[in-house]
């Protein structure tokens, strides 16, 4: 039998921590990932402002960021984490590696979504005398909105699973709770409770994301 009086408050606390980590790093990922995705698209050889060097260097960094397994990245960026937050333990500290992992991931998805916008629409805007900045703001981003929302949903869910992984090195949140109480103290009820909460989170976010993307797509 699950002893809710014992688990309840800690479970709630962990859920709040996970939500905090994921939402802050998601916010940062959008802030950094969208411009990065736009940059990747524009500077590509077939982009509006082809810049071979920029495209190769930025693309290389993004690929490097994506090729490091998250659990390794956690350890690898520990000095950066300490620089920003003064510690490597706890949910605030975990935001740094989460963001570093999610930005390149999201940037590639943003680039792919923007690439889906029919080239004719960009051409029409150029014919109207739109500058590159205006094309990005008035054509590419608004037209790619359904794809961007879908990309955001995928990233958000990846962040939830990453954040749980960060629990392995004391990152706080549901993963941390499951490992310390569920795994290390053989309290299967805790593990199960954490899994259920994560499952519900993912389901709710995915269907909300799908619904929003559908509403934005005027097809």
**Contact set with another protein (CB under 8 A):** 118, 120-121, 123-131, 134, 138-139, 142-143, 145, 216-219
- In angstroms, what is the minimal distance from the CB of 43 to another protein? 17
Kindly tell me which of 5 and 46 has the beta carbon lying closer to another protein.
46
Alpha-carbon distance of 165 to 176, in angstroms, equals 8
Kindly tell me which of 37 and 167 has the beta carbon lying closer to another protein.
37
Q: Which residues contact 65 (CB under 8 A, 6 or more apart)?
A: 100, 101, 103, 104, 105
Residue 153 · residue 76 · CB < 8 Å: no
- In angstroms, what is the minimal distance from the CB of 32 to another protein? 24
Tokens 């392995």 correspond to: 168
Kindly tell me which of 186 and 219 has the beta carbon lying closer to another protein.
219
Kindly tell me which of 144 and 179 has the beta carbon lying closer to another protein.
144
Kindly tell me which of 79 and 219 has the beta carbon lying closer to another protein.
219
- In angstroms, what is the minimal distance from the CB of 9 to another protein? 45
Burial class (CB in 10 A: 0-12, 13-18, 19+), 60: exposed
How many CB atoms are closer than 10 A to CB 105? 20
Alpha-carbon distance of 184 to 127, in angstroms, equals 64
Alpha-carbon distance of 14 to 8, in angstroms, equals 10
**Assigned token pair, 118:** 């029919």
Kindly tell me which of 100 and 144 has the beta carbon lying closer to another protein.
144
Closest CA to 92 of 169, 25, 181: 25
């Amino acid at each position: 039998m699950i002893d809710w009086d014992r688990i309840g408050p800690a479970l709630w606390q962990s859920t709040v921590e996970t939500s905090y980590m994921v939402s802050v790093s998601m916010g940062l990922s959008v802030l950094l990932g969208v411009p990065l995705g736009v940059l990747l698209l524009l500077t590509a050889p077939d982009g509006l402002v082809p810049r071979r060097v920029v495209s190769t260097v930025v693309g290389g960094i993004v690929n490097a960021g994506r090729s490091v397994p998250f659990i390794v990245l956690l350890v690898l960026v520990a000095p950066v984490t300490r620089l920003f937050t003064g510690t490597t333990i706890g949910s605030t500290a975990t935001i740094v590696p989460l963001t570093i992992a999610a930005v390149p991931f999201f940037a590639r998805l943003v680039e792919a979504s923007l690439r889906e916008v029919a080239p004719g629409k960009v051409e029409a805007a150029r014919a109207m005398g739109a500058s590159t900045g205006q094309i990005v703001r008035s054509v590419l981003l608004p037209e790619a909105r359904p794809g961007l929302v879908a990309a955001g949903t995928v990233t958000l869910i990846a962040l939830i699973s990453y954040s749980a992984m960060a629990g392995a090195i004391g990152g706080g949140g549901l993963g941390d709770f499951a490992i310390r109480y569920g795994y290390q103290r053989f309290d299967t009820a805790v593990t199960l409770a954490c899994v259920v909460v994560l499952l519900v989170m993912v389901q709710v976010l995915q269907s909300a994301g799908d619904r929003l993307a559908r509403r934005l797509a005027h097809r």
